[in-house]
Amino acid sequence: MSKPIVIPQTARFVEPLVLKSGATVSSYELVYETYGTLNADKSNAILVCHALSGNHHVAGYHTEHDKYPGWWDNMIGPGKPIDTERFFVIGLNNLGGCHGSTGPSSIDPETGKPYGARFPLVTVDDWVETQARLADRLDIRQFAAIVGGSLGGMQVLQWTITHPERVRHALVIAAAPKLTAQNIAFNDVARQAILTDPEYHGGDYYAHGVVPRRGLRIARMLGHLTYLSDDVMGSKFGRVLRGGSYNYGYGVEFEIESYLRYQGDKFADSFDANTYLLMTKALDYFDPPHAHQHASLSQTMATARAKFLVISFSTDWRFSPSRSREIVKALLDNNLDVSYGEITATHGHDAFLMDDAHYHKLVRAYMANVKTGEHQ
């Protein structure tokens, strides 16, 4: 059977974008992919927002030779919970990314060199604005649904605040209304590992022909470790030794070390450190009441009009179920239509990417009630 091939597309925007920071991006590109077919009245569009290390390649394959499909291929495709036989799904790489959209590693047309440290920090608000512009470009006035996990879920939440009339359904998965001090602390340790890497060069490492690989590797090892639950690490790796006995040295001894170092190496070879820094700051900054000068999330959500599906995972200690319940409470305070599912899953925060039967059944059932065309 041949693989479903998807071709990334690029949208160029020349209208200057004023960011929340006050900085302006004079022009930029967003790379995106689409799956399925937009219907006649453009009422079946779904936007997928990605998390920290995600990108536009949500489903399918780029070539017949690709070993792995897009990062959410188990969720999105023909006959899948988000069914591309019914829906027209859009995945994009966010502004500041390193997979094709304009970001710190892109060439600044003003200098002919990579932006590096000159690329401004962006926020979830800014991403929603760029995503809205992409929707305008595709002539999509209202999304049937906007979907995202983790940092992606925060973008979904922000959409319902900024553009309430443009979102019929919001799927907020494994998210939090804002980071805690502990969440910020984990991000800051990761950032400090990159920022203090001698090869970071103040963000302009491109000019030196190096990358802050050591720092990025540590950042990823730490991140990855926190996305998994203690349980799943215990059952997958436990205290199993690579060589069967202690070596009394600093090489790999435990299987978990081998796994984490491999994850760190792989990531450090493929991801841009400046993008990683920028994404973690977007996470830290996300705080809708703060951004909208409201006292509480309930007050901030008062203008939302979407129907919501909120999902959390029992062993997710990064954004635990209690964080999702804060969101649910704020929505209920505003008499919004909310479904909430707390999935018993062993995989921790990463559960939102896993092919879990209960979880997928819940999304499938919810999506079956998302109306399109003349039935909406």
Q: Which is nearer to its own copies, 13 or 319 (CB)?
A: 319
Using an 8 Å Cβ cutoff, are 348 and 320 in contact? no
Of the pair 195, 302, the CB lying nearest its own copies is at: 195
- Cβ atoms 325, 43 nearer than 8 A: no
- Give the footprint of its own copies on this chain (CB under 8 A): 20-23, 120-121, 178-182, 184-186, 188-189, 191-193, 195-198, 214, 217-218, 221-222, 225, 228, 230, 233-234, 236-239, 246, 248-250, 253-254, 256-257, 260-261, 264, 277, 281, 284-285, 287, 290, 317
- Which residue reads 């030794």 in tokens? 241
**C-alpha to C-alpha distance for 245 and 258, rounded to whole angstroms:** 15
The answer to whether residue 150 is catalytic is yes
Distances in whole angstroms, Cα of residue 31 to Cα of each of 55, 63, 146: 9, 17, 18
CB of 4 to its own copies, least distance (A): 36
The answer to whether 158 touches 288, Cβ cutoff 8 Å, is yes
Q: Judged by CB, which is closer to its own copies: 254, or 329?
A: 254
Per-residue tokens: 185: 């602390």
Backbone angles phi, psi at 205, to 5 degrees: -65, -25
Nearer to its own copies, 174 or 306 (CB): 174
SS3 349: helix
Shortest Å, Cβ 203 to its own copies: 8
Residue whose C-alpha is closest to residue 26's, from 43, 9, 36, 13: 13
34 and 9 Cβ atoms separated by less than 8 Å = yes
Residue 69 CB, shortest distance to its own copies, in Å, is 28
Q: Looking at 43, 101, 150, 229, which residue is catalytic?
A: 150
338-343/28-35 β-pairing: unpaired
Q: Which is nearer to its own copies, 83 or 287 (CB)?
A: 287
In the chain, the N- to C-terminal Cα span, in Å, equals: 35
The CB-of-103 to its own copies minimum distance in angstroms stands at: 16
Minimum CB separation of residue 223 from its own copies in Å reads 10
| 53 is a catalytic site residue | no
Given 126, 316, 350, 356, which residue is catalytic?
316
Catalytically active residues, by annotation: 150, 316, 349
